[in-house]
């Protein structure tokens, strides 16, 4: 008799748990890997980001080699069969825009979190703002009027989190510039990634040849790694001998680099498993809760507590994100109730 594993309801809960845990551990491993090479001023942040995607590429190839994806083991279910996709060269060329945006979002996120793991998370909460702008200008997908009304709440929250109260009671701007600039850049790349992903998957032929979201994600990470390699050599090539010498001898760098890449790949897969079987409301609440939990966890790991302004600002911004995600559904429900 074939092993069926845990019921879907139990598996779903476990997928949520390990999605959150994987995201938290990714942030921890990423910070440790960056610290191992000298922190945000080391000039090796792009190298760390690229090598993380290199780990993802190796993991994807191992999955194809054994023809089993072990991700569902986290839900105490049997692994899915997963073979190499039958994509054509033309499919890969069409996938390059998505891969470029995904690679850019990943690299910019590593820079942002390397600048300040906590403030970087706050800035990334503003992703819907960039998504609204990019969707409207480039993909003819403007948000509704009510969603637009939520955007100032998000922006205001991030802005307030950037303030610091002085001894005289006055406020002034004080934030990590790297976290702000690269956090917003990551948000922009993520917005384009969403648009390009929708365009690519709208082609039923390509979607069929990929044979599932898992294969599409795997190919995207491999292409992203290839895209980042020349950028890494162009920007940090002079320091690569130091990096590889350190990688040979520093067990902390070895462990955290490999684990950050694995955690990134696996938590994204688990997020896919959870979000595709939950409703929009549940998905929105889950994403919002995840961001709060990750910030609290990183504050504990790094020993760097959020300031009062960051606590209030992040609370406002994240509330705005949740409202942005839910407001159309809430208003639809209200209209239906009145009509009944």
The answer to whether 116 touches 179, Cβ cutoff 8 Å, is: yes
From residue 279, alpha-carbon distances to 72, 113, 282, 331 in Å are: 20, 30, 5, 16
User: Judging by beta carbons within 10 Å of its beta carbon (0-12, 13-18, 19+), is residue 207 exposed, middle or buried?
Assistant: middle
The answer to whether 171 touches 165, Cβ cutoff 8 Å, is: yes
CB atoms inside a 10 Å sphere around CB 101: 23
The torsion angle over the Cα atoms of residues 49, 292, 284 and 24, rounded to 10 degrees, is 40
Amino acid 41: pLDDT? 83
pTM attached to this predicted model: 0.88
Contacts of 251 (CB under 8 A, 6+ apart): none
* pLDDT one digit per residue (tens) for the chain, 340 residues: 455 677 877 888 888 889 889 999 999 999 999 999 988 888 899 999 999 999 999 999 999 999 988 888 888 888 888 889 988 999 999 999 999 999 999 999 999 988 888 888 888 888 888 888 888 888 888 888 988 998 999 889 888 888 877 766 676 767 788 889 999 999 999 989 988 888 888 888 888 898 888 888 999 999 999 999 999 999 999 999 999 999 999 999 999 999 999 999 999 888 887 877 666 556 666 777 787 888 888 888 878 877 888 888 888 888 888 888 788 877 776 666 665 5
User: Which residue, 174, 34, 225, 165, is CA-closest to 112?
Assistant: 34
Work out the end-to-end distance of the chain between its first and last CA atoms, rounded to an integer number of angstroms. Answer: 50
Amino acid 25: pLDDT? 94
Instruction: Concatenate the DSSP letters of all residues of 225-261 into one string.
Output: HHHHHHHHHHHHGGGHHHHHHHHHH-HHHHHHHHHHH
Amino acid 17: pLDDT? 87
Helices 213-236, 89-115: inter-axial angle, 10-degree rounding: 60
Amino acid 220: pLDDT? 94
Q: Which helix (H) or strand (E) holds 165?
A: strand 163-165
Q: Give 326's DSSP letter.
A: H
């Amino acid at each position: 008799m074939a092993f069926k594993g845990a019921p879907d309801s139990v598996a779903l809960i476990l997928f949520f748990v390990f999605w959150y845990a994987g995201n938290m551990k990714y942030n921890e491993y990423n910070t440790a890997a960056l610290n191992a090479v000298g922190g945000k001023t080391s000039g090796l942040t792009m190298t760390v980001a690229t090598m993380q995607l290199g780990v993802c590429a190796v993991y994807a190839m191992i999955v194809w080699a054994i023809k089993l994806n072990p991700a569902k083991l986290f839900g105490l279910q049997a692994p899915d069969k997963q073979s190499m996709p039958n994509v054509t060269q033309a499919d890969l060329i069409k996938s390059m825009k998505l891969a470029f945006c995904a690679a850019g979002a990943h690299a910019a996120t590593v820079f942002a979190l390397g600048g300040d793991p906590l403030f970087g998370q706050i800035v990334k909460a503003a992703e819907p703002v960039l998504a609204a702008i990019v969707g409207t200008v480039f993909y003819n997908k403007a948000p509704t009027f009510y969603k637009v009304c939520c955007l100032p709440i998000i922006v205001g929250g991030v802005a307030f989190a950037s303030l610091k109260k002085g001894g005289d009671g006055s406020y002034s701007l004080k934030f990590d510039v790297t976290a702000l600039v690269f956090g917003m850049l990551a948000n922009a790349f993520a917005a384009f990634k969403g648009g390009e992903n929708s365009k690519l998957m709208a082609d039923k032929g390509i979607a069929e040849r990929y044979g599932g979201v898992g294969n599409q994600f795997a190919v995207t990470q491999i292409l992203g790694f290839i895209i980042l390699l020349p950028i890494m050599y162009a920007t940090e090539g002079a320091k690569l001998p130091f990096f590889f010498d350190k990688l040979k001898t520093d067990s902390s760098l070895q462990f955290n680099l490999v684990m950050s890449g694995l955690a990134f790949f696996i938590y994204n897969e688990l997020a896919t498993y959870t979000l595709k079987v939950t409703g929009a409301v549940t998905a929105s609440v889950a994403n919002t809760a995840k961001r709060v939990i990750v910030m609290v966890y990183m504050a504990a790991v790094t020993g760097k507590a959020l300031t009062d302004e960051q606590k209030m600002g992040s609370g406002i911004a994240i509330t705005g994100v949740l409202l942005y995600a839910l407001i159309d559904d809430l208003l639809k429900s209200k209209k239906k109730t009145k009509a009944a």
